[in-house]
């Protein structure tokens, strides 16, 4: 039941706020830093020689509760190799109109191909531009990396890549490219 003291209580809140320190965020000129494990835009990672970690298995798409991921796997050949092993993700899309940035897809990925960056500025003006294609999600080529398709530079089979033999080899041959590659994965 309303009381005649209610307006006074309201003014009390205003009065207390007058003496609080002003917090002004100068966004977007100075974006506030987020926590290191903040779930932002996804990234498709690469091996230290530039081959893609994604093997087109679709586990991320099956794990997604929002049906936001579409993956199409294709066969690698010796003439056109994009990842170690048999298959690679030839089509990879994430629909950010649906994605709730929960990270379940990252948990499902068996090769650590998919991680999430800290990037949160995902707003755009059209629906189509919020469907990110593989080219939008792939990690950039770092020093020591070569754009696929190319052969397996860091081992004879995919097992060598997954066990990290390629990392050691790249460190020896590229003078630090591998460290950069390892650090390329997103925060979570």
- Please report, as ranges, the residues that interact with ligand SF4 according to CB under 6 A: 54-60, 63-64, 66, 68-69, 71, 89, 94, 99-105, 108-109, 111, 113-114
60: tokens are: 């991320």
- Nearer to ligand SF4 by Cβ, of 58 and 179: the residue is 58
152: tokens are: 């397996």
- Nearer to ligand SF4 by Cβ, of 6 and 107: the residue is 107
Cα–Cα distance between 101 and 79 in angstroms, integer?
A: 37
Report the 3 state secondary structure along 169-182. Answer: HHHHHHCCHHHHHH
How near is the Cβ of 40 to ligand SF4 at its closest, in Å? 10
* Backbone phi, psi, residue 168, to 5°: -65, -45
- Nearer to ligand SF4 by Cβ, of 99 and 170: the residue is 99
How near is the Cβ of 17 to ligand SF4 at its closest, in Å? 37
How near is the Cβ of 5 to ligand SF4 at its closest, in Å? 47
The answer to whether residues 159 and 151 touch, using CB atoms and an 8 Å cutoff, is no
* Backbone phi, psi, residue 70, to 5°: -125, 125
- Nearer to ligand SF4 by Cβ, of 131 and 168: the residue is 131
- Nearer to ligand SF4 by Cβ, of 8 and 34: the residue is 34
* Residues β-bridged to residue 73: 89
**Does residue 52 sit in helix, strand or coil?**
strand
- Nearer to ligand SF4 by Cβ, of 7 and 72: the residue is 72
Closest by Cα among 174, 34, 185 to 111:
185
How near is the Cβ of 99 to ligand SF4 at its closest, in Å? 3
The answer to whether residues 82 and 148 touch, using CB atoms and an 8 Å cutoff, is yes
């Amino acid at each position: 039941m309303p009381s005649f003291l209610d307006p006074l209580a309201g003014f009390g809140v205003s009065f207390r706020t007058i003496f609080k320190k002003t917090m002004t965020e100068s966004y977007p000129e100075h974006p506030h830093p987020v926590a290191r494990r903040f779930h932002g835009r996804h990234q498709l990672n690469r091996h230290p020689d530039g081959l893609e970690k994604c093997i087109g298995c679709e586990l991320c798409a099956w794990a997604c509760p929002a049906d936001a991921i579409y993956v199409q796997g294709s066969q690698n050949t010796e003439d056109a190799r994009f990842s170690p092993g048999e298959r690679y993700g030839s089509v990879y899309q994430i629909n950010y109109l649906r994605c709730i940035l929960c990270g379940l897809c990252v948990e499902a990925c068996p090769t650590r191909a998919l991680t999430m960056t800290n990037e949160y500025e995902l707003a755009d003006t059209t629906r189509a531009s919020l469907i990110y294609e593989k080219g939008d999600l792939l990690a950039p080529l770092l020093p020591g990396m070569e754009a696929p398709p190319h052969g397996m530079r860091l081992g004879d089979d995919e097992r060598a890549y997954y066990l990290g033999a390629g990392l050691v080899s790249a460190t020896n041959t590229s003078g630090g490219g591998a460290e950069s590659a390892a650090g390329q994965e997103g925060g979570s």
